[in-house]
């Protein structure tokens, strides 16, 4: 437990101390966010705010992870995922700064899918996974190829879900904190009945991410001095899915990551409704922008989404405990 607290505090301090220097460097390089013209009008004032803040999180987390020597079978894959997808996001952030558009969606999806398939294949082969944990039911058999494809799908979906949620100051960062807290707690629980051991190094890795995200929020809360960008949103979303897989609680991600799921569904429903009926369900998608357009203040939306995420994390951890206690 002491190592977890130290990791969280060290990551927080690292981001807060390096943050001003990093923000100054981005400003000198001209790495300011290009705001989409089709977005809410109130966001136009945010144009030029330094982006690519996610790379600060990635660098601090990886430096401290190596310093604390926590790399093992449970942390290697999420660490590589954080770096691999984070680099893709950084490239996308750079292209956005230069052109205002970013990498084409199909190219980005191909890269995400390749990383996700490699991560899913490694997890299945290394841990010999032939079962998947179903909340309130227990372990259910699954074919290796089906497991690989499903895990890859969830990694890509969660990566893009966090990216879609990253639309308001402090929103994605706060929601991610509660999600990683839930999986930190799950990683610490051993379930001898099914051969699940506690995963202290994975818990420390989650603590590093939580602390770094708290430090990032120091600069990202409204009005933001630094945006997360795709370098953080894509990488952290994919990493959350990999952590969920390693703890054997991948299906619980639908509960713990409820906010990301709801935001993604709002976009799918909006696009589907417009194409099929020529009508929109929301004033604007993702759904957080709908709330903006009906008059909610940005801070109110962010805090209310944080509250929902905290409750979702609590519910997810409770379902996990109820499941293992029933075995």
Is the confidence at residue 280, as pLDDT, over 70? yes
Helix (H) or strand (E) holding 295, with range, is none
Is the confidence at residue 103, as pLDDT, over 70? no
Nearest Cα to Cα of residue 161 among 296, 258, 228, 248: 258
Which pLDDT value is given to residue 305? Answer: 97
In the chain, pLDDT over 70 holds for what percent of residues? 92
Is the confidence at residue 18, as pLDDT, over 60? yes
Is the confidence at residue 240, as pLDDT, over 80? yes
Residue 183 binned pLDDT confidence (cut-offs 50, 70, 90): very high
Is the confidence at residue 319, as pLDDT, over 90? yes
Which pLDDT value is given to residue 129? Answer: 84
Q: Per residue in 151-172, pLDDT tens?
A: 999 999 999 999 999 989 999 9
Which pLDDT value is given to residue 16? Answer: 97
Three-state DSSP class for residue 275:
helix
- Residue at token pair 């490239």: 91
Q: For the chain, what is the mean pLDDT?
A: 90
User: Where are the strands (E) in 17-129, listed by range?
Assistant: none
């Amino acid at each position: 437990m002491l190592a977890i607290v130290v990791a969280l505090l060290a990551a927080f301090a690292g981001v807060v101390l390096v943050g001003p220097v990093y923000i100054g460097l981005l400003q000198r390089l001209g790495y300011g966010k290009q705001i989409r013209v089709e977005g809410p009008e109130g966001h136009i004032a945010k144009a030029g705010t330094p982006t690519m803040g996610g790379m600060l999180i990635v660098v601090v987390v990886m430096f401290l992870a190596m310093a604390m020597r926590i790399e093992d079978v449970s942390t290697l894959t999420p660490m590589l995922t954080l770096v691999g997808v984070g680099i893709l996001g950084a490239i996308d952030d750079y292209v956005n700064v230069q052109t205002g558009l970013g990498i084409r969606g199909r190219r980005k999806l191909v890269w995400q899918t390749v990383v996700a398939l490699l991560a899913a294949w490694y997890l299945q082969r290394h841990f010999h996974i032939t079962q998947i944990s179903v909340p309130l039911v227990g372990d259910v058999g699954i074919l290796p190829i089906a497991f690989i494809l499903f895990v890859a799908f969830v990694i890509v979906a969660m990566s893009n879900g966090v990216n879609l949620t990253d639309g308001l100051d402090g929103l994605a960062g706060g929601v991610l904190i509660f999600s990683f807290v839930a999986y930190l707690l799950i990683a610490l629980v051993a379930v001898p009945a099914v051969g699940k051991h506690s995963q202290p190094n994975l818990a420390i890795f989650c603590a590093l991410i939580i602390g770094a995200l708290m430090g990032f929020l120091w600069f990202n809360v409204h009005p933001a001095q630094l945006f997360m960008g795709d370098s953080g949103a894509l990488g952290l979303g994919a990493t959350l899915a990999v952590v969920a897989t390693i703890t054997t609680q991948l299906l619980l991600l639908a509960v713990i990551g409820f906010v990301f799921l709801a935001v993604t569904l709002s976009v799918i429903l909006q696009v589907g409704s417009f194409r099929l009926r020529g009508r929109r369900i929301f004033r604007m998608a993702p759904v957080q922008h709908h709330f903006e357009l009906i008059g909610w203040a940005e801070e109110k939306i962010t805090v209310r989404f944080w509250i929902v995420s905290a409750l979702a994390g609590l519910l997810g951890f409770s379902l996990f405990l109820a499941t293992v206690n029933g075995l």
